[in-house]
Amino acid sequence: MNQIDYNKWYYKIIYFFIANQVAIRRGLIVFLIITNTIFWTFGVMKWTDYFLTTAEYNRAMNSEVAVNYAQLKQCQDITAADFTVKPAAVFESESSSQSGFYGQRDFLVKVKNPNADCYAAKIRYYFDYDGHQEKNRIYHEEFLMPGAEKYLFSFREDIDMPILNNINLVITGEEVMAMGKGAAKNNLEIFNLLGANNADFNNNVATFTAFNNSNKDLWQVGYQVVIFSDAIKTEPAAAAYVTVNKFLANSKQQAQASWFKDLGVVFPTVDVVADVNTFSDNVYMQRDFGPGVPQGVEVK
C-alpha cells in the first residue's frame, strides 16, 4: 500500500487553511468592514461635493442669468424708439479734407438707455439729413450701459449737401438683454463709480480729473470729451476721445484733450462722459499681491 506524503506543498497549504480557518474568517470580516467603510466614506464625500458644487453653480448662474422673465421680456421689447435721444448736432472736422464734395463734418448725439435693468449690448446706427444719399451712409456700432447716457459719434464723415438740415440719428438695430442680478449688479455699480470732475478748457486744451472710486483695477477707461460754445450744451464746437490706462482702484488721474486749431469758443462748457463696458471681463486687471510684489503690478 502506498503511503501518502503529507509533506508536499499543497498539503501544507490545505493544512494551513484548516488550522487557521477561524483567524482567516475574522480577518476577512475585518477586511470587509474596512472596505465597506472606505466605500461609503468615498460615496458620502462625492455626494456632498456634488450637492455643494451644484448649489454653487446655481448661485453663479443666478448671478449671471436673468431669472426674472418679466424683466427679460421688457428688455427684449425695447426698440430704437425707446432710447432717449437729444437733438443731433454737427460741426466741422478739425482735420477736414475735401475728400467729399462739400468737405467733412463730425456728427454727435447724446443717447440715454431708458431702463436701468437692461443692457444694450449693441446699437447699430448712422446719421441722416435732408438729401443725404444712402450710398454714403456710414454705419457704427456701440454699447450702452443700463440707465446710462453717452455720445454716439461719427467723425470725419463726407457730406453731400452744402447745407445740412434736419440732422437725425437713425438706429437700425439693437441687441438689448436683461442685466440679471448678483455679479451683473456689481459690474454696473463699478461703472457708476467711474467719472470725471474739475473739467476746464483753456487755450484749446480740455483738462479734467478722472476718478475710479470702485475697488477694481481697470486696464482702460474711455472718456468722451465734448466742448460746447453755450451753457445749455446745444452748440458743440469740438469732440475728442481720451483713454486712461491701468486705472487702479480708488485712484485719480489727470487727463486732457487738445485741438490744433483755434475753436474760437468764448464761454466754453465742457462735458466729460465715462465710456467703458464693465460687463466685459477684459477690462479688469488681475494683480499679484504676493511677497515682494507691490500693489499695482499686474500679472499680464
CATH code of 107's domain? 2.60.40
Share of the chain above pLDDT 70, in %: 77
d(CA 255, CA 274): 12
The pLDDT tens digits of the residues spanning 211-256 come to 999 999 999 999 999 999 888 888 888 899 999 999 999 999 999 9
pLDDT at 67 over 50: no
91 is in which domain, residue-wise? 67-179
- On whether both 296 and 189 belong to a single domain, the answer is yes
The pLDDT tens digits of the residues spanning 106-134 come to 999 999 888 888 888 888 999 999 988 88
Q: What is the DSSP string of 50-99?
A: HHHHHHHHHHHHHHHS---HHHHHHHHT--GGGSEEPPPEEEE-TT--SS
Question: Strand 218-228 and strand 149-158: pairing?
Answer: unpaired
- On whether both 168 and 210 belong to a single domain, the answer is no
- On whether both 173 and 130 belong to a single domain, the answer is yes
What confidence score (pLDDT) does residue 240 get? 93
Q: If you average pLDDT over residues 43-52, what whole number do you get? A: 66
d(CA 258, CA 244): 15
- On whether both 290 and 213 belong to a single domain, the answer is yes
pLDDT at 262 over 90: no
- On whether both 215 and 103 belong to a single domain, the answer is no
Cβ–Cβ under 8 Å, residues 147 and 116: yes
- On whether both 187 and 292 belong to a single domain, the answer is yes
Neighbours of 123 (CB within 10 A): 22
Q: In what order do the strands lie in the sheet with 194-202?
A: 194-202, 205-212, 251-258
d(CA 193, CA 150): 16
What confidence score (pLDDT) does residue 91 get? 74
Q: If you average pLDDT over residues 16-39, what whole number do you get? A: 77
- Whether the model clears a pTM of 0.95, i.e. scores above it, the answer is no
Share of the chain above pLDDT 90, in %: 33
- On whether both 174 and 196 belong to a single domain, the answer is no
What confidence score (pLDDT) does residue 53 get? 55
- On whether both 40 and 130 belong to a single domain, the answer is no
Domain boundary among 127, 161, 179: 179
Domain boundary among 179, 199, 219: 179
Query: What is the phi/psi pair of residue 104, to 5°?
Result: -130, 150
- On whether both 17 and 51 belong to a single domain, the answer is yes
Cβ–Cβ under 8 Å, residues 121 and 76: no
In this structure, what C-alpha cell is assigned to residue 90?
454737427
Of residues 80 and 142, which shows the higher confidence score? 142
Give the number of domains in the chain.
3
235 SS3 class: coil
What confidence score (pLDDT) does residue 1 get? 46
* Residue 163: HSE in the Cβ half-sphere, 13 Å Cα cutoff: 1
Rounded (10°) angle between helices 21-64 and 183-192: 40
- On whether both 187 and 291 belong to a single domain, the answer is yes
